[in-house]
Amino acid sequence: MTTREHIRAVLVLGLPLVGSHLAQFAIQLIDTIMLGWYSVESLAAQVLGGTLFFVLFIFGSGFAWAVMPMVARAEGADDSQQVRRITRMGIWASLIFAALAMPVFIFAEPLLLAMGQEAGLALLAGQYLGIAGWGIIPALAVMVLKSYLAALERTQAVLWITLVAVVANALVNYVLIFGNWGAPELGIRGAAWASLAVQIVSLALTMIYVQLVTPEHTLFQRFWRPDGEAFGDVFRLGWPIGLTSLAEVGLFAASSVMMGWLGTLPLAAHGIALQVTSAFFMVHLGLSNAATVRAGRALGRSDMASLRKGGWVAIGISGCIAVCTVILFLTAPHLLLGPFIDPSDPARDAVLAIGAGLMAAAALFQLVDAAQVMALGVLRGMQDTRVPMVIAAVAYWVIGVPVSYLLGFTFGLGGVGVWLGLAVGLAVAGVLLLRRFVLWERRMQASRAAAGGARG
């Protein structure tokens, strides 16, 4: 394939995935916007509760992300039986993880108090998670099925199902948070009920679609039967992916905890800025998923040249988007942050002023953040997950978190210092993960040269 053909293939596969990730993210984004208009305290509490939910959700999603390259490789090798086995056991692994995560949500309030959060915020966040936390069960199952569909390059359906969920979430939020249309005014608990309902509806729609369009795989027939070999394969590939994602998301969760030490207004500003930066990150995540699928399929066909070239094309597209994002963050922070807070809120100006500084810090890590997630996507497609896990743990927790604390508190830079620490951790991860892909490429070229010499 030519470079232009690779670009087209990445975009055809990746853009619906980008849209799907943005739509999925919009569910939490809508919660943030509507709760920000309800009260700054509810917004700050949702930042805490939503961060804790997201940390465990991302950790558990490691098994779903393992399904993507494994199904792509099996599909590339035309092995339908393996497609079915891997997907089923991916759902099994995800549901087991969800059951283990539930006590954290049920006892969220005392956990947040032990982490040094204000009592009022911990109470509200605990109320939110006591309801919304149950959504991790359908949410992780949906993630597996979406990975399965993406690996089969059926990404349009993933997008449309997620868009339906976004609309439903907005409507139920409007009714239950503010007490519209005769419903009770539930505030943050209304947002939690909306999120739970949407996750259940999303799972039902996705299962119906899978059953209708891929009957040849019979995913849900005798679903209760265990498959030890396939479960082991998913587990071995999935737990390093989950820990890698946990390391990164945990870095941002730690930043949320540190921002909570600075007070309600800095935490609210942090929550808004994090929502904005995360929305742009979804673009790179969608392209990373496309790179995973294409690398997995190339691996199944033993087409190493296509794997290499396709990987660099995907990384290049992501880099171009990151440059545009840097410009936007530096030139229009108030435009991006303003819609999250009621114009009549007396704390609006203070929150926006803090948020603008955080957006400037975020501009520093856009290129390296894009580099690390794209390199991870290609490496996952090659089923290389354990070394990237170690790289992520060192970059984010040995370097990123301590630097955030030092700059934010020891050197007195506050929230901006915390975010500069994020930039340092992401930069180290981006450089090391790209280096691993480059080293793999050099080894592959050396092997091909050696094979050519032997034939000569």
Task: Judge whether residue 431 has pLDDT over 80.
Answer: yes
**Count of CB atoms within 10 A of residue 229's CB?**
10
Name which of 11-15, 136-140, 388-392 the model is least confident about: 11-15
User: Which secondary-structure segment (H or E) carries 307?
Assistant: helix 304-331
Under DSSP, the state recorded for 332 is -
Handedness of CA 357, 363, 366, 368 (dihedral sign): negative
Q: Using 50, 70 and 90 to split pLDDT, how confident is the model at 451? A: low
C-alpha 368/C-alpha 425 separation (Å) is: 10
Q: Is the pLDDT of residue 51 over 90?
A: no
Q: What is the CA radius of gyration of the chain?
A: 22
pLDDT, tens only, 115-167: 777 788 888 888 899 898 999 999 999 989 988 988 888 877 778 888 888 88
**Terminal Cα-to-Cα distance of the chain (whole angstroms):** 26
- The Cα 296–Cα 151 span in angstroms is 9
> Looking at the domain assignment, is residue 95 inside a domain?
yes
Whether 269 shows a pLDDT value over 70: the answer reads: yes
161 in Cβ contact with 24 (< 8 Å): no
Residue 244 CA to residue 296 CA, distance in Å, equals: 19
Domain-embedded: residue 453: no
* pLDDT score for 134: 93
Write out 47-66 in H/E/C secondary structure. HHHHHHHHHHHHHHHHHHHH
d(C-alpha 41, C-alpha 120), whole Å = 8
Q: What confidence score (pLDDT) does residue 327 get? A: 93
At residue 446, the pLDDT reads 66
Tens digit of each residue's pLDDT (9 = 90 or more) over 60-116: 888 988 888 888 888 877 778 888 889 989 999 999 999 999 999 989 888 888 877
The whole-number pLDDT of residue 453 equals: 54
The tens digit of pLDDT for each residue in 285-298 reads 888 888 888 887 78
Sequence letter at residue 241: I
pLDDT: is 341 or 104 the higher one?
104
Distance CA 263, CA 342 (A): 20
Average pLDDT on 244-272 reads 82
Asked whether residue 454 is domain-assigned, the answer is: no
**Residue of 89, 129, 135, 84 lying closest to 111 (CA atoms):** 129
Cα separation values, 267 from 205, 256, 263, 358, 373, Å: 36, 7, 6, 11, 26
Task: Answer yes or no: is 456 within a domain.
Answer: no
Segment 366-376 shows an average pLDDT of 87
Comparing 127 with 216, the larger pLDDT belongs to 127
pLDDT at 32 over 80: no
Would you say the C-alpha torsion 262, 56, 33, 109 has a positive or negative sign? negative
Could you give the CA distance from residue 210 to residue 222 in angstroms, rounded to a whole number? 16
DSSP SS3 for 301: coil
Q: What's the CA gap between 29 and 195, in Å, rounded?
A: 11
- What is the spatial distance between Cα 196 and Cα 139, in angstroms, rounded to a whole number? 9
**What is the value of pTM for the model shown?**
0.75
Q: What is the DSSP letter of 411?
A: S
**Residue 308, CA atoms < 13 Å, CB-side half-sphere:** 14
Around Cβ 456, how many Cβ atoms within 10 Å?
A: 5
Cα(315)–Cα(317) distance, integer angstroms: 6
pLDDT at 324: 92
In this structure, what token pair is assigned to residue 336? 């991006």
pLDDT given for residue 137 in this prediction: 93
Question: Nearest-CA neighbor of 32 among 18, 19, 48?
Answer: 48
Q: Give, in degrees to the nearest 5, the angle at Cα 144 between 240 and 428.
A: 35
Per-residue pLDDT, averaged over 301-329, amounts to 86
**Residue 154: helix, strand or coil by DSSP?**
coil
Specify the number of domains making up the chain. 1
DSSP of 181-238:
TT----THHHHHHHHHHHHHHHHHHHHHHHHHH-GGG-TTTTTTS--HHHHHHHHHHH
Predicted local distance difference test score (pLDDT) of residue 406: 94
Using N-to-C axis directions, what is the helix angle for 40-76 and 228-262, rounded to 10°? Answer: 150
Give burial (CB, 10 Å; 0-12/13-18/19+) of 450.
Answer: exposed
Quickly count: other Cβ atoms within 10 Å of residue 412's Cβ. 8
Question: In this structure, is residue 82 part of a structural domain?
Answer: yes
Supply the pLDDT for residue 394.
Answer: 93
- CA 370-65-282 angle, to 5 degrees, is 35
Model pLDDT, residue 452: 54
Residue 5, pLDDT > 90, answer no
> 210, 148 in Cβ contact below 8 A?
yes
Q: What is the mean pLDDT of residues 352-381?
A: 86
The yes-or-no verdict on residue 220 having pLDDT over 90 is: no
Sequence-distant (6+) residues with CB within 8 A of 27 are 165, 166, 169, 195, 198
Tell me the average pLDDT of the chain.
Answer: 84
C-alpha 436 chain-centroid distance: 22
**For residue 187, what are the domain limits?**
3-448
Q: Is 455 inside a domain boundary?
A: no
